Chain A
Amino acid sequence: MKIIVCVNHVPDTETKVKVAPDNKSIDRAGVNFMLSPYDEFAVEAALKLKEQFGGETIAMSLGGDTHKETLRKALAMGIEKAVLLKDDAVRDSYSVARALADELKTMSPDCVLFGKQSIDYYDEQIPGLVAEFLGFPSVSVIVKLEAKDGHITCEREIEGGHETVETKFPVVLSAQKGLNEPRYPSLKGIMAAKTKPIEEKKPAAYSALVEVLDMKKPPPKAAGKIIGTDKTAVPELVRLLHEEAKVI
């Protein structure tokens, strides 16, 4: 089975975002980048499928040279090969997905895995776009995955519950927290990752369909008030919620 996991290199979740002078992107100075958290669940799922079915695992990322760091992390976790679609241009989700799909088509994968969303642009659209470009079925936001005799049963999270979804290979899946416990790279894995190949390719350019006009920080909340330090403040809190906020 050929299993390809697409990963992204994103600012650490602890980052306090500052807007860059172009007012369209974030100031990258002093920001730590890492493998997007949901992608870790996708990498783990890829490794599990390989353990079950054999075959090969490949990690793929689209972006600049710094994405190699994140690809190395996937390799250290146990992925065998990596492909960097090297591109420094700013792209929208559509043009990223088109370029990923072009490359994936040449690789004939059985399973393409993503994290449910990249925690930077945050739009959750790339797995579905790629699936449609490939003509594959897809299941997004999965918290359970069972594959047997070519059949796949997933559970995906919905509002206030779960859906059980049946599908089959070849497929695109996007991973939600809870799908598995991502393994930590072993020391051996980290050492091995240094010598594993990262193939560099040039992705096709596509015009963006969505253009960013402006980026700003959300308006700061006005300083709130601490209305007390014990339960004697409760009646005042309830009054404020009723009369001032009018939310209950």
Chain B
Amino acid sequence: MNVVAFAEQREGKFKKVAFEVVQTSKKFADQLGASHVTVAIGDNLSSALALLAPYGASKVITAEDPRLQQYSTTAYAKVLAEIAKREKADIIFLPASQMGKDLAPRIGAKLEAGIAADCVALNLKGADIIATRPVYAGKALIDVVVKSAVKIFTLRPNVFTATPGSAGTIASEKATVELTDADFTSKVTHVSVNAGRPDVTEASIIVSGGRGLKGPEHFHLVESLADTLGAAVGASRAVVDAGWRPHDEQVGQTGKTVSPSLYIACGISGAVQHLAGMSSSKYIVAINKDKDAPIFQVADYGIAGDLFEVIPALNEELKKSLGK
């Protein structure tokens, strides 16, 4: 049996989720007695490959080409599917990142492989991997089994652990996959990066604001608390729909579903569709005037008080304790 892990990189740097995918897939390969290969696609990757070793990668296949430096759905899909075929992959692991979620269905269709997407837990039962994944934005969880010969699992970022161990040696190999212009019918020509804070789907801490902030001019309270913690800024649907915050910060059923280790909800009452998107956070803090707000039912720690007083005090206290 052969396991292939796709290690996502951007700008020549492996994403944190790439380490999560490598380590998790290696664990299952070992349990299944399968071989394990990590695949990286991009350009000039050789110097970064050693970083994969502490997470269990020992064989890495790279496809390197200046045209692959930026993501292209069609070209990446061709390269990854081709390498998976050559390696006789039975199981392919990808991240459920924006790249992985875009790439997985292309590979699935090419290889007639069923996809368990956005997995939050994987468990071995006999020779089957049972995948747990959220549906209805996390209002329910389903356990699924993939029945096709080739199986694809995409892993939600931030859920599976990536703990570096002792690094072995890496045997790397360059794969040649012939690419023509016809393989680049969609291609990325420019990437713009939001300045400063991490993205809500990748952050280990999120500070989120809602209607209780009373206006966009008060969001600096949330932002400054986030900056103290190196956290992402999130927002409720109400404040995004009101135009206070950009939609890429929205957490909930029509926004992002997140699982940080700490979620601080400020002035968010906790509509059912918001709770769906964040209640799998490991720890939840709620700061809200209304002690009966539903957010307190999922919060580990709550302060039922005036956020205009509590947030600045919390920020000061954290700065002190973090030595900032």
Contacts and interface: CB of A to CB of B under 8 A. Distances in A.
A160 to B, nearest CB: 4
Interface stretch (A42-50, A53-61, A123-131, A197-205): A123-131
Interface residues of A, number: 84
Contact of B140 (A163, A178, A211, A218): A218
A230 B306 contact: yes
A92 B302 contact: no
A158 B302 contact: no
Contacts of A177: 247, 250, 254-255
Interface string A206-233: 0011111111111001011111111101
A237 interface: yes
B200 to A, nearest CB: 9
A2 to B, nearest CB: 19
Contacts of B113: 209
Given A162-B192, A224-B302, A237-B285, A128 B144 contact: no
Interface residues of B, number: 99
A243 B280 CA distance: 21
Contact of A209 (B103, B147, B318): B147
B50 interface: no
A160 B98 CA distance: 11
B188 A221 contact: no
Contacts of B194: 160-161
Give chain A's interface secondary structure class.
Answer: mixed
Contacts of B305: 228-231, 233
Interface of A: 11, 13-17, 19, 24, 26, 37-38, 92-94, 97, 119-129, 131-133, 137-141, 143, 156-168, 171, 176-178, 208-218, 221, 223-231, 233-235, 237-238, 240-242, 245, 247-248
Interface of B: 15, 70-71, 73-74, 77, 97-99, 101-106, 108-110, 112-118, 130, 133-148, 185-194, 197-199, 201-202, 205, 229, 246-248, 250, 253-255, 257, 261-262, 271-273, 279-280, 282-286, 291, 296-306, 309-310, 313-314, 317-318, 321-322
